Amino acid sequence: MEALQTFGINSWQANVDAKLSNALTLALEQGQVLFLPKLGFALQENETQFLSPSWLNGSRKNISLEGHKSDSRHLGGAQGEEQELARLAAMIARFSNDATSLVHALFPHYAAHFNQARTSYRPGLVGAAKAISWKKDDSRLHVDAFPSRPNYGERILRVFSNVNADGVDRVWRVGEPFEATAKRFLPKIKKPIFGSASLLKLLKITKKKRSEYDHIMLHLHDGMKADLDFQQNVPQQTVYFPPNSTWICFSDQVLHAAMSGQYMLEQTFHLPVTALQHPELSPLKVLERLKGRALI
């Protein structure tokens, strides 16, 4: 299966008929990346100043806007004068609005179920700062799973847009289908130690009790990144996202690695498995089928 499916959508408020929406949904839920080469996020004249990594304050690798707010009080990871940060927050919020309009237009059947999460701006050059551990090295193929935020199978849908003004592509590696990788690593993953989920929550290492699904997804994430033979030899494709293009995927399902590029905006949404048109293709249902039992 090809890593990318290309669609000629060129508006954030796209007018999409049912046939195209179903095709988009099937490709997305099968674990493909939806590539929209004709859809770019245009920076306004007073926003081009933000095309510099100097806006990062050093505490994070990206700048984030929480809670769909458009003022700098909800901006994390940024530094600068208050008026400048207010304009930066407004730019990120504008992208958030466009990304939200897009997913509502492309996937109207998801619209009532979306939980909008953080919006991020990544002005840093990919690979410029060495990852402090292999677990945080996003140049290694992985699926998204987070140690402190169990999600009980909820999907992670992300909209990305390359806003580089110097003609530089965002380059990813995209790996084999999720189920093939799950079959590789599942035999090595032991069940969580009895009581460990409660202890992690009690110690506030996790925000809530970690399900067995979350336990497996974390071990898949770490197992992939730790296995250098897998990284080199697993079936994979290199894909290029040029400036003024947008792409969408379920990042908990698509094996991906960021190899190069600079200046990208990203909007995250969470979606329950029950909202999917093909829930049997979700990581939760795939893992439950392979394990032969419920995992949440």
Residue 128 has pLDDT above 90, yes or no: no
Domain count within the chain:
1
Sign of CA dihedral 47, 48, 49, 52: positive
Q: 201-237: per-residue pLDDT in tens?
A: 998 999 999 999 999 999 999 999 999 999 999 999 9
pTM across the whole model: 0.95
Tokens representing 257 are: 């690695």
User: Considering only 16-30, 45-59, 128-142, which range has the smallest mean pLDDT?
Assistant: 128-142
DSSP lists the bridge partners of residue 65 as 75, 119
CATH number, residue 9 = 2.60.120
Confidence of residue 196 (pLDDT cuts 50, 70, 90): very high
Confidence of residue 130 (pLDDT cuts 50, 70, 90): low
Residue 32 has pLDDT above 70, yes or no: yes
Domain carrying residue 227? 4-291
Asked whether residue 296 is assigned to any structural domain, the reply reads no
* Average pLDDT score over residue span 89-115: 96
Asked whether residue 227 is assigned to any structural domain, the reply reads yes
Task: Establish how many alpha carbons lie within 13 A of residue 2's alpha carbon, considering only the half-sphere containing its beta carbon.
Answer: 7
Asked whether residue 84 is assigned to any structural domain, the reply reads yes
Asked whether residue 160 is assigned to any structural domain, the reply reads yes
Tokens representing 210 are: 């970690």
